[in-house]
Amino acid sequence: MMQEKDAKGAAEEMKRILVTGFEPFGGETVNPSWEAVRALPEEIPGGRLVKAQIPVEYEKSGAELRRLLEKENPDLTILCGQAGGRKWVCVECCAINRDHAQAPDNAGEVRRYRPIAPEGPAAYFTDLPVEKMVAEAQAEGVPCEPSFSAGTYVCNHLYYTLLSEGRRGCFIHVPYSAEQARDTQRPYLEITQMTQGILAAIQAAI
């Protein structure tokens, strides 16, 4: 009987964690954020992971995230995306209330200086322990830094959407993968490093 109670208690303590990555965009055939996310284990100490791919479209990304939040009701949500040109994994501290990019999303839509929520605050800051998340990733040998700019493309749009829903969560940007950087001067990390950094950050957040 005691063992059954202990097992039940342990199950109740397990956090439900939604982790997302994006589909390819901008002419790329892969998106390292999704490759890194789908390589994560299904279960980690203290948490069970639900993994999902998000479309690189302003409208559909927010709608899909809201659908997942309603369906899964996660205790914690970690969004991941590609930031080509960065040299390390970046844990994003905030999301701003603007969509603004020259490049179209995967539906062909271009948004310029457009508020995500006209009546919403200028920015939201995560309440997750960013400094600890970065430190844990670095301790695993993964190049990782905090960032105060998630951009103004679909990544930031999704992050703002999450925090506007009053959900606990964070956004993590990853660089190009080795595959994307082949025969170029692009900075990159191996997918295994990205997965390791995301995992360390999640465990720190738990």
Query: Residues 125-160: pLDDT tens digits?
Result: 999 999 999 999 999 999 999 999 999 999 999 999
Residue at 15 is within a domain: no
Which residues form the catalytic set? Answer: 92, 155, 173
Q: Is there a domain that residue 16 lies in?
A: no
pLDDT at 12 over 60: no
pLDDT at 9 exceeding the cut of 90:
no
**Is the residue at 61 inside a domain?**
yes
The CATH number for 172's domain is 3.40.630.20
Is 137 within the bounds of a domain? yes
Q: Is residue 58 part of a domain?
A: yes
Query: Contact 181/84 with Cβ under 8 angstroms?
Result: no
Q: Give the per-residue pLDDT at 3.
A: 52
- Name residues whose C-beta falls within 8 Å of residue 166's C-beta, 6 or more positions apart in sequence: none
Residue 19 in any domain: the answer is no
Q: Which domain holds residue 93?
A: 29-205
State what percent of residues in the chain have pLDDT above 70: 94
Taking residues 76-92, report their average pLDDT: 98
| 2 pLDDT more than 50 | no
DSSP string, 134-193: HHHHHHTT--EEEES---SSHHHHHHHHHHHTT--EEEEEE-EEHHHHTTS---EE-HHH
Residue 24 maps to a domain? no
- Is 8 a domain residue? no
Q: What are 84's two structure tokens?
A: 């080509």
Total structural domains within the chain: 1
